[in-house]
Structure 1
Amino acid sequence: MPRTLRPPLLASLALVLLVPVLPVQAQTAPRPVQTAEDPWLYKGSDLVHDDEWKFGRLSNGVRYAVRKNGVPPGQVSVRVRIDAGSLNEQESERGFAHLLEHLSFRGSTFVPDGESKRIWQRLGVTFGSDSNASTTFTQTVYKLDLPTATAAGLDESFKILAGMMAAPAITQASLTAERPVVLAEAREQPGAQERLQDTMLGLMFAGQPVANRKPIGTTAALTAATAETVQAFHDRWYRPERAVVIVIGDMDPTVLEAMVQKHFASWRGKGPNPASPDFGKPVEGQPVAASIVESAVPPLAMMTIVRPWTVFSDTVIFNQKRMIDLVAVRIINRRLETRARSGGSFLAAGADLSDVARSANVTTVNVMPVGADWETALRDVRGVIADAQTSAPTQAEIDRELAEIESSMKQRIATAPVESGMKLADDLVEAVDINETVTTPEASYDIFKSAVAAKMFTPETVQAASKRVFEGTAVRALVNTHTPDPQLMTKVTAALQADVAGSGARRKALGDISFAQLPKLGAPGKMVSRTTLLPELEIEKVVFANGVNLLMRKDSTETGKVYVNVRFGGGLNALPADRPSPAWAGEMALTASGIGKLGQEELDALIGRRQMGFDFDINADAFRFGGQTNKEDLPDQLRLFATKLAAPAWDPNPVTRAKTAVLSGYAGLSSSPDAVLGRDLEKLLHSGDPRWGIPERGTIEATTPASFRKLWAPLLASGPIEVEVFGDMDSDATIKAVAETFGALKPRPARTAAAPAITFPAHVDKPVVRLHTGKADQAAAVIAWPTGAGSAGITESRKLEVLAAIFRDRLIDQLRSQAGVSYSPNVASQWPLGLTAGGKLIALGMVPPDKTDFFFQLARGIAADLVAKPVDADELTRALTPIKQQLIRQSSGNMFWMRLVEGGSYDQARVDAVDTLARDVALTSPAEVQALAAKYLQPSKDWSMVVMPGPDAKAGG
């Protein structure tokens, strides 16, 4: 990775970051392994090899790929893929592949039970994100992202990983300890979504193993598992011939290759290598329709066309033909979205092509109807598809899709030097799983260009693809409704057979759309001052005559990327706190409501061929537009944002669409403990303040396009503007572009009203109770303590992150690893800089209903212990080192620095705190952690809540 600037955080942390180097016993040089470079990935492919990867195969059959990559600096990412997932299980083993993944992380013959997590924490690894694993139908993948990797740390990590694969400690003791965690993970699945998925799999893959082989398994099989039966599953499938080791990072590839050879060459399989099971193929004669009644899931209709999954060679012509299919599907989806936006019979609809679990190639069409009328919605969607099959698209439609694909490919080429090693490793794992390859961005673009040059994308070829992708072995449909209908299955079958000719012929031709059609802005603004805020980071502040502030940083380390934020107005501080409002619809409808005379349809055409974004969210003290662009498109990205503020349009359709969408899924907000927390928790923690949480149904029903505009029009037009531009750009050109856009706006009136007060709820002797309608064996428990807010306490907020990390680690150990009560407990510290209050330290866990008291006893016990005595040095190191490493990794990107200083043009404390970040975190002491615990974790101030199953909860899920 080219580095033009070493961020001062890296240098500062280098002085205080004492990453322990694990002792490594003196060893003789590893026995040489006779291996020949083997580009095994490209067997049968004529694609250009990505020569940055070095491929090889050990004599025992282990395949590997290594590569140098410096994004983020110092990190090495390791992926170990085992070609075995839930489809490799026998009926009595359902869930064993996933269970074995859990057991492997506990320990092996090389590492005592639970010690691998602690070793990796000392090396800066965050449990659950930097060290993780996943089990699918077809594979189990172990993931390790090792920050600031040293030779010793990498050697120790490879030793642990190799032991996990070859000799995990599968004992009755470890099985007894980990089985409850896996059962807890299964228990915590949302019931309604689980039933929908089960029905969908059973219909789509009827007659195939994937129909009933979910990786989570069955309670019966997991309960009956013994150390011997799990060991037998391991010995059958965990073999070197079925393993792929991928290593990429900021280290010499020969060193990475030597690590693979040293630690994986001695691995030997036990017994004969079994043949992979037959995953079957779609067959005719199975049910063509299924229906469920789930009020917790929005009404929907799903149509699938299934075909046998075929292993094709990953060749140039194969990819070019697939591109034609992609263009056909994109055109259909664009037509469907146009209909949905204009107030059609469906809220959303889209088609997708996918290869699923090496079991079927599938075209899926998902339809979310307006209200309960799924029949009309499905008919209209099928009509759009039928129209695409009977009438060729225009060349203009095709060219629009090609232009957007080309823009995306060019951007990928431009940003390839800063593609993270983690993503490249994951992409390679995915390629191996589906028997495909990886190639360079340039080679992908060449394949695309040669297809265009050969005139492969014509109205005739795209029309043929529109037919081809909707043909197959069988067509099947699934419908979810909110009320029972005894005739539903008959209606679904009839809907698949209904004649839809002529019902999808409406097409909208946009013509040429250009930025010249955006509303005109005023004369360019004048720059009043230009100063350097942070010399080491080269962050500058520019003030314009109309009061607009620009914070910018020219930094080319992220080649081809420019991040733009526009903060305006007052955010949550400007919203009503004494009454419900239509603010809830802002993130869904504000950007979609258009600019000037251009609606969302036109805006999509305007920016689709460019590298631009248009996100909106609400911060504590500002509203924010955001987008990632590049140097060339930056002026128009800024113009897009500025004209939205100067001349917003108020298309009523996005408001109506947002309202209908939220109401259609509103019942789902009661369908699980997690959903109830998402709906109510933040509002409860702010003493009922309507600016937080999801509003009552009545508030959503009362929202109209007129009331939406009444709220948002003055919010868009008032309050300060701060523009932030960080990345690979030219500073002078950026100032000119801001002057011509935001600098040209009229001065905006300041907001004079004081921000509404924020209060944390009072202590309760008994937890606040909310009920859910999901599984009867699910509950949630929450406990929170008030802390602080505002930029004056930034240093304290950073040290609270350390306290939260220690608390979280203890809660995971005691609630999950030891008690097996919860799969995903968490503790977090929240300190809002833009508010005067509202900070909190919060702990929560999904637990069985009879274990909520146990959760509170455990959480309060941990809190009391943190108050009573300082943490020991090793525990502090295991909490601090991952935090420091996260900061180091994040600091290699411009977004990190932009987030640190955003709002800094009006709040100097945020800017000043940048220089103290490293020492605020790294020099946190046991005494400071204890003092913070004593200050904030007071029993008299905690607030608690439980979400329990209500009378409508469903036994057994």
Structure 2
Amino acid sequence: MQRTKMLFVLLLVVVQLTAQNKTVKDKVLPVSPEVKIGKLSNGLTYYIRKNQEPKNRAELRLVVNAGSTLESDKQVGLAHFVEHMCFNGTRHFKKQELVDFLEKSGVNFGADLNAYTSFDETVYELQVPTDSPTVYRQALQILEDWAHLVSFEPVEIDKERGVIVEEWRLGRGADARLRDKYFPVMLKGSQYAKRLPIGTKENIDTAHYNTLTSFYKDWYRPDLQAVIVVGDVDVAETERMIKEHFAKIPRAVNPKPRKKFSIPSHTETRVSILTDPEQPYNVVQIYYTQPEIPAAKTESGYRASIVRGLFNQMMSSRLDEIAQKPDAPFLFGSSSYGSFIGDKDAFSLLAVAKTGKDIAASIETLVTENERVRQYGFVQSELDRAVKSSMSYIENLYKERNKTKSAELLQELVRNYLKQESIPGIEYEYGLYQKFLPTITLQEVNSLISRWIKKTDRSIIVTAPEKEKNNLISSTAALDILNKPLGSLKKYEDKMATGPLLPVSPIPGKITAEKQYESIGTTEWTLSNGAHVVLKPTTFKNDDIQFSAISWGGTSLYSDADYMNASNASLIALTGGMGNLDIQSLQKEMAGKNCTVAPSMSNYMQGMNGSSTMKDLETAMQLLYGYFVAPRKDSSMFKVVQQQMQVQLANKDKNPASVFGDTVGYVMGNYHPRRKPVTLEAVKQLELDRAFNIYKERFSNGGQFLFTFVGNFTLDSIRPLVEKYIASLPSTGKQDSWKDVGLRYPQGVINKVVKKGKESKASVRLYFTGNSAAFNDLDELQIGQLCKALGIRLREVLREDAGGVYGVSVSGGLSREPVNNYSIGIQFGCAPENVDKLIGLTMDEINHTKSNGIAPVNIEKVIAEQTRGLETEFKENSYWRYKLEQHIFRKQNPEKILEAPQLVKKITVERTKELANQYFNEANMAKFVLLPEDK
């Protein structure tokens, strides 16, 4: 009896432990306490989260759980059309009033005010200031209007047709033509194959008003909508306002069911081998589609997603390693598991083959490497690196949890609504990573690939340039490679050179002088080797340091014959590795380190840019020091760099945008040899030894550089690192300058037409250039303001009134090297038949500005936007890093950075008139037009 009782007790204990273990494994992920979620009686869901980065700003979204897959055959493209109409008049905001109101409040159209339509959802995006209660209240009114009060005035619908056609036109080209062919094959039998959100030109042009509005009435309803607010807001007041605006929307009567579309399974392998005259690369895509893994709801599901992430990291690293060999058949290869489309995930393989003849070898290499993993799995050192990188990534997110931008936090709320992604919060997720990463075994990761590689639900797509047609693999041959038994493969060896980053430890120098800029909390150190270091400790982020190095010289110090070597010298050094470590070993050594450093060389200067966390700052300093004193010359990687350039150039002459861009650059460079488009012949003339020696020459004199550090360090913490890794750099005691090699803008009137391309679309670029008076910050700022204001006006004229463009860009500024000069450029795309008309409208606006200046309303918008922009930029490490570097490097007082908000407000109508007459000089104007080839 006693024995029976003991066995019963033991059994009970086992059952209890099993139950406890199951409870732990399948613990449901909580909702972050930071997020307020509610649902109104009409079915609308809302999310609110208080977040003070950036301060006095809020990100608002209206998410509609409806996209292009819900269109009827007569409504193709109309989900996207509805999105456009939301900006063209609502009950409370007539045409243009909505954009006008927001722009006057400092909201930037396109950046802060936008929307997108996808297959399964439509999302409206709005960032607004919250320190103005009026603006914030109106923003929620705008969301409500979008949700159920869009006007759909017939006149505005017809005007918007042209805008949408121009958006469609911009997307046409080789990619679109090829996609039109392989989508119906790959997605055969699914709604996704025939419902690209942009639609068709024919339907955009002819769709009846009622057909458009019926989509809005059917699918824009509260049970398919979510309102999301993340930002510096009062949660309770925001909830009250959401209820006030959205609870009154009536629940839909007899609503159409929101069908979820699927992609049918298939037993056959679907193959598309396609070419196009303008396709630049040889691309291979292989998809093994799988039933979608639902978003993780439990801790065990979250753990499984971490395991998949580790697999993707390790697989990508292996293929990167292959691509970094001269004999690799592809320039780039990837293999990963993730969300695909509709109700499917996919294990996808991708490669960019070097030539058409390399496509077969690329497919075989991808398949072989995946089979190698299937047979032997990864090795422990690969997993260790992936775990380090994953832990470093999540740790950085955790450290910045109270400094994360609202726009970033908002995205997971959108996914929660659309995909039911869990939102436990970064604190909880960080805890899960700490808990699970150490427990994940090689066996778990290695077991995944066998589930994903199969002969069913498989597609292979090859897209290549037309001229490679005779070199392409056949469908039968591609299938043979996929089905060929590979036998027993050789195990992967994780080769890695070992040793320190730096072959020799530096001998520290000293700080010899210190200067304070008290009003901006900045210190400047002079070092014993002559280098200067500018330091601004900040609390803008919790663990972020931005830094740079800069000095005069650049490619200008080398002859035209040496320009190719000089302009690629930093790339060749960067890809060579450092000290005794080749690039592969260096990348492996850096696993888990949160820091980057990259050298660069431009026309008149050279330098480095980098970023780091405090923990990894010494590693970043070692990289900085190493790129000065211990760059590594690698003939193998040099060949890889040459091959990459050759592939990029091989079909460039078939790409209309590339041909047009090269033509513009060469003409606007006044046919200077340094502005001549790079050719295959020029790439062959690259010399490893010469390029490497140029790099060493430009970085041999560390004492002439200015170094700038901005971030969450203290002067005491960074002092020993500066003395060890910067004050120790070699110095000649001299300061190099730059050389005037004769680069100038062309003089006079230029009219150039380029005919290239199959699609009926045109591109227009207008340039106004010339010499200017001595550079000053106010002129530079005000030219930018003139361009911004003119861009607003041209958007109204060319897009809203004429319906002739999707977008128009106006940009310009002053330059100081080699002489004081200016350039203003205007760019837009349009139908070929509208080129002259739209150029005429553009010139009319320029002449109107010369006579009358910019309209006060548009000056008000520019001032508001830039004032609001500065409020956030003043709290960015990257902003201060650049501004401090440029002011001190150019011998200007950096404390004047604080004057920017006052300078922004100095622009006037009369001043824009003066600027327009000064800089829009039609006697020195260049006009470039890209038209399709004659048929």
TM-score range, shorter chain: over 0.9
Partners of 2:558 and 2:49 lie apart in 1 by 50
Post-superposition Cα deviations, 1:790-829, rounded to whole Å, max 9, x if no partner, equal: 9832210001111001110111111111112111211011
Name the residue aligned to 2:206: 224
Matches within 5 A, 1:79-478: 79-147=61-129, 149-294=131-276, 295-311=278-294, 313-343=296-326, 344-372=328-356, 373-453=358-438, 455=439, 457-471=440-454, 473-478=456-461
Q: Match for 1:563: what amino acid? A: Q
Q: Which residue is 2:744 aligned to? A: 759
Query: CA 1:91–1:580 in 2, change beyond 3 Å: closer, same or farther?
Result: farther
1:498 aligns with 484
* Structure 1 residue aligned with 2:518: 535
Q: Kindly indicate whether the alpha-carbon contact (under 8 Å) linking 1:786 and 1:942 is maintained by their aligned counterparts in 2.
A: yes
**Inter-CA distance 904–536: structure 2 relative to 1 (3 Å threshold):** same
- What does 1:491-640 align with in structure 2 at a 5 Å threshold? 491-502=477-488, 505-510=491-496, 513=498, 516-532=500-516, 534-571=517-554, 573-574=556-557, 576=559, 580-586=563-569, 588-619=571-602, 621-640=604-623
In 2 relative to 1, CA 735–577 (structure 1 residues): closer, same or farther, beyond 3 Å?
A: farther
Deviations 1:462-487 (A, max 9, x none): 21013223347412111123322486
- Structure 1 gaps of 5+ residues are 1-43
- Report deviation, 1:280: 1.7
Q: CA 1:274–1:753 in structure 2 vs 1: closer, same or farther (change >3 Å)?
A: closer
Q: Secondary structure at the match of 2:123?
A: strand
Distance in 2 (CA, whole Å) between partners of 1:576 and 1:261 is 69
Work out the CA distance in 2 between the residues paired with 1:479 and 1:287.
14
What is the CA–CA distance in structure 2 between the aligned matches of 1:872 and 1:312, rounded to whole Å?
51
1:264-323 CA distance string (max 9 Å, x none): 121125542221224123311455211111352311211110112254552211121122
Contact residue 575 and residue 691 of structure 1 kept, 8 A: no
Please give the alpha-carbon distance, in whole angstroms, between the structure 2 residues aligned to 1:64 and 1:845: 39
The 1:736/1:743 distance shift into structure 2, 3 A limit, reads same
Question: Where do 1:797-812 residues align within 5 Å?
Answer: 797-812=780-795
Q: Is the 1:107–1:164 Cα contact (8 Å) retained in structure 2? A: no
For 2:698 and 2:839, the matched residues in 1 are separated by 42
Partner of 1:908 in structure 2? 891
CA contact 2:268–2:456 (8 Å) conserved in 1 = no
CA 1:312/1:812 → structure 2, altered by over 3 Å: closer, same or farther?
A: closer
Offset at residue 648 of structure 1 (A) = 0.8
- Is the CA contact (8 Å cut-off) linking 1:521 and 1:643 kept in structure 2? no
* Corresponding residue number in structure 2 for 1:8: none
How far apart in 1 are the matches of 2:403 and 2:455?
A: 41
What displacement does 1:112 show?
0.7
**CA displacement 1:636-673 (0-9 Å, x = unmatched):** 20111111111111113333223322332335545555
The residue that corresponds to 2:22 in the other structure is none
Q: Is the 8 Å Cα contact of residues 393 and 463 (structure 1) preserved in structure 2? A: yes
Counterpart CA distance in 2 for 1:859 and 1:782 is 11
Structure 1 Cα separation of the partners of residues 249 and 770 of structure 2: 52
Q: Which residue of 2 aligns with 1:488?
A: 474
Please tell me whether the aligned partners of residues 80 and 243 of structure 1 are also in contact (alpha carbons under 8 angstroms): yes
For 1:239-283, what per-residue CA distance to the aligned partner results, in whole angstroms no more than 9, with x for missing partners?
001001110111211222222112112112554222122412331
Amino acid of the structure 2 residue aligned with 1:446: G
User: Which of 678, 700, 705 is the equivalent residue of 2:688?
Assistant: 705
The root-mean-square deviation of aligned C-alpha atoms, in Å, is: 2.4
My pick for the range that moved more, 895-904 or 621-630, is 621-630
Moved more, 624-633 or 362-371: 624-633
* Preserved CA contact (<8 Å) 1:327 1:462: yes
CA drift at 1:445: 2.1
Change (3 A) 1:480 1:830: same
- What secondary structure is seen at the aligned counterpart in 1 of 2:745? coil
Among 794, 815, 822, the alignment partner of 1:839 is 822
Distance 1:690 1:65 in 2: 58
Per-residue deviation, 1:618: 4.2
CA contact (8 A) 1:383 1:501 kept: no
The one-letter code sitting in structure 2 at the alignment partner of 1:128 is G
Q: Which residue among 714, 718, 723 is the counterpart of 1:739?
A: 723
- Give the distance between the partners of 1:276 and 1:481, measured in 2 at CA: 39
Three-state SS of the structure 2 residue aligned to 1:65 is strand
**Native 8 Å contact 1:521 1:741 kept in 2:** no
Question: Does residue 705 of structure 2 align to residue 721 of structure 1?
Answer: yes
The answer (yes or no) to whether the contact 1:162–1:264 under 8 Å persists in 2 is yes
TM (norm. structure 1) is 0.90
| 1:188–1:503 Cα change, 3 Å | farther
In structure 1, the residue matched to 2:632 is 649
The gaps in structure 2 that reach 5 residues or longer are 1-25
Spell out, residue by residue over 1:190-244, the C-alpha distance to the aligned partner (whole angstroms, 9 max, x if none).
4111123334433432222112211111122222212111110001000001001
Q: For the structure 1 residues 310 and 339, does the alpha-carbon distance in structure 2 shift closer, same or farther, using more than 3 Å as the test?
A: closer
Q: Shift in Å at residue 582 of structure 1?
A: 3.3
Provide the C-alpha distance between the structure 1 equivalents of 2:27 and 2:308, rounded to a whole number of angstroms. 20
User: What is the alpha-carbon distance in structure 1 between the residues aligned to residue 173 and residue 546 of structure 2?
Assistant: 40
Task: Supply the AA of the counterpart residue of 2:537.
Answer: K
Is residue 32 of structure 2 the alignment partner of residue 50 of structure 1? yes
Q: CA shift at 1:326, angstroms?
A: 2.0
Q: Which residue of 2 aligns with 1:20?
A: none
1:892 to 870, 875, 892: 875
The residue correspondences of 1:676-691 to structure 2 (distance < 5 A) are: 676-691=659-674
Q: Given the two structures, how large is their TM-score scaled by the length of structure 2?
A: 0.92
Indicate the structure (1 or 2) with the bigger Cα radius of gyration. 2
- Give per-residue Cα distances to partners, 1:598-639, cap 9 Å, x unaligned: 111121122221111133444564333222211221122011
**Counterpart Cα distance in 1 of 2:774 and 2:227:** 46
After superposition, what is the alpha-carbon deviation per residue over 1:21-72, rounded to whole angstroms, capped at 9, x for unaligned? xxxxxxxxxxxxxxxxxxxxxxx98113211111111121110111111111
Contact persistence 1:62–1:242 (CA under 8 A):
yes
Give the direction of change, closer, same or farther, for the CA distance of 1:384–1:743 in structure 2 (3 Å limit): same
Distance 1:613 1:179 in 2: 46
Matched pairs, number: 902
Deviation at 1:354, TM superposition (A): 2.1
Letter in 2 for 1:130: D
Instruction: Give the Cα separation in 1 of the matches to 2:27 and 2:141.
Output: 34
Q: Secondary structure at the match of 1:368?
A: strand
CA distance in 2, matches of 1:589, 1:265: 61
Distance 1:734 1:252, change over 3 A: same
CA separation of 1:672 and 1:102: change in aligned 2, threshold 3 A: farther
Alignment-mate amino acid for residue 216 of structure 1: I
Aligned partner of 1:341: which letter? Q
Instruction: Give percent identity, aligned residues only.
Output: 18
Letter in 1 for 2:263: K
Distance 1:860 1:714, change over 3 A: same
Which one is further off, 583-592 or 792-801? 583-592
- For 2:349 and 2:677, the matched residues in 1 are separated by 29
Offset, 1:143: 0.3
Aligned residue for 1:479, secondary structure, equals: strand
Whether the aligned pair in 1 keeps the contact of 2:649 and 2:680 (CA below 8 Å) is yes
Who is 1:28 aligned against? none
Q: Is the 8 A contact 1:573 1:620 kept in 2?
A: yes
Cα 1:327–1:119 shift into 2, 3 Å: same
